[in-house]
Amino acid sequence: VPVLLLVAAPYIRSYVAGGRCQSAARLDGKVVVITGANTGIGKETARDLARRGEVIVACRDVAKAEAAAREIRAETGNQQVVVKKLDLADTKSIREFAEKFLAEEKELHILINNAGVMLCPYSKTADGFEMHLGVNHLGHFLLTFLLLERLKQSAPARIVNVSSLAHHGGRIRFHDLHGEKSYNRGLAYCHSKLANVLFTRELARRLQGKSQRPVEFTANALHPGSVHSELVRHSFLMTWLWKIFSFFLKTPWEGAQTSIYCAVAEELDSVTGQYFSDCQPAYVSSRGRDDETAKKLWNVSCELLGIQWD
């Protein structure tokens, strides 16, 4: 058995690693914003894209982000890796980030909504939203809204939303969005990842519906795979399991491949409203294809954030 395992190990690792982005597309003169890019797949996405063009690392922990940016600058030789403060658990911080970004940057070509929280004990954001919904969905919803015109002005442009296979276990509980009646942190994560898929679907529909030209503005979602990262830090059990089974998990670099693919692959120039895994289209749950729920979630999100987004 040990010999068989040794022989099979490279094949197992190859299968676990999944698809890789083959595109060599350059991003010279283009601007990319990546949320949560100080660790995990966000950092690896930033590292790759920094070899192609300008990258703005938008993070809550500025010190950690600066350390990551210094490392990426040294490795890639690209000095255009900039850190900006962004706390997705606070709409005031999101608005301040957007205001400064719009004042300093005249273009934005790729927005990668990567940051996320997982398995948090029950807590709320600064605005009273359940933490998973607030950070993973509402924070990125507001950020995208605030940066949308700059993206449109910079077209062709792309929005990439990092969701998860976990969306299959989610549902949008409109009667208890903030988990005040009942709360399960695993399900709360699933619900927020479903919200990412539905947001992507509705955003793509709205953007397509207002243009008679070929698609110049795309929005796609993705599952990065099961990645050995800090995302499970709120669960001792998951952290322990992740260490034991790390051989069967993607590395952050492997997990970043589909994010990179959705951001740069030339064959996706006119593809929008889709969901990817391992750098190819993937199956979306029936709840993730429910247009009525997507529309309702859009309207409820606008109400919660106090914005009008038609």
Domain count, the chain: 1
* Range 215-232 average pLDDT: 79
Does the annotation mark 189 as catalytic?
yes
pLDDT band at 6 (very low <50, low <70, confident <90, very high): low
**Cα–Cα distances in Å, from 43 out to 22, 65, 151, 248?**
19, 9, 22, 21
Please choose, from the candidates 127, 143, 136, the residue with its C-alpha nearest in 3D space to the C-alpha of residue 166: 136
15, 189, 275, 283: the catalytic one is: 189
- Answer yes or no: is 51 within a domain: yes
- Answer yes or no: is 129 within a domain: yes
* Range 217-230 average pLDDT: 83
pLDDT confidence of residue 210? 57
* Range 138-162 average pLDDT: 97
Rounded to an integer, what distance in angstroms lies between the CA atom of residue 227 and that of residue 229?
6
- Answer yes or no: is 221 within a domain: yes
pLDDT band at 200 (very low <50, low <70, confident <90, very high): very high
In which domain, by residue range, is 139 found? 26-305
Per-residue pLDDT of 258-279, as tens digits, reads 999 999 999 999 999 999 999 9
pLDDT band at 225 (very low <50, low <70, confident <90, very high): confident
Per-residue pLDDT of 25-43, as tens digits, reads 999 999 999 999 999 999 9
The set of long-range contacts for 166-171, using a CB threshold of 8 Å and a minimum separation of 24, is 166/190, 166/193, 167/193, 167/194, 167/196, 167/197, 167/223, 167/284, 167/285, 167/287, 167/288, 168/285, 168/288, 170/194, 170/195, 170/285, 170/287, 171/287
pLDDT confidence of residue 8? 52
Q: How many CB atoms neighbour CB 230 within 10 A?
A: 14
Per-residue pLDDT of 97-126, as tens digits, reads 999 999 999 999 999 999 999 999 999 999
Residue 1 CA to chain centroid, in angstroms?
40
- Answer yes or no: is 17 within a domain: no
- Answer yes or no: is 184 within a domain: yes
- Answer yes or no: is 4 within a domain: no
pLDDT confidence of residue 1? 42
> How does the average pLDDT of the chain come out, rounded?
90
- Strands in 157-162's sheet, in edge-to-edge order, are 81-85, 53-59, 27-35, 110-113, 157-162, 217-223, 275-277, 280-281
Read off the CATH number of the domain in which 127 is found.
Answer: 3.40.50.720
pLDDT confidence of residue 255? 94
pLDDT band at 202 (very low <50, low <70, confident <90, very high): very high
Q: Look at residue 212 and tell me whether its pLDDT is greater than 60.
A: no
* Range 6-30 average pLDDT: 74
- Answer yes or no: is 19 within a domain: no
Q: Which residue has the higher pLDDT, 284 or 248?
A: 284
pLDDT confidence of residue 240? 52
The set of long-range contacts for 266-270, using a CB threshold of 8 Å and a minimum separation of 24, is 266/23, 266/25, 268/158, 268/218, 268/220, 269/156, 269/215, 269/218, 270/214, 270/215, 270/218
- Answer yes or no: is 213 within a domain: yes
pLDDT confidence of residue 246? 58
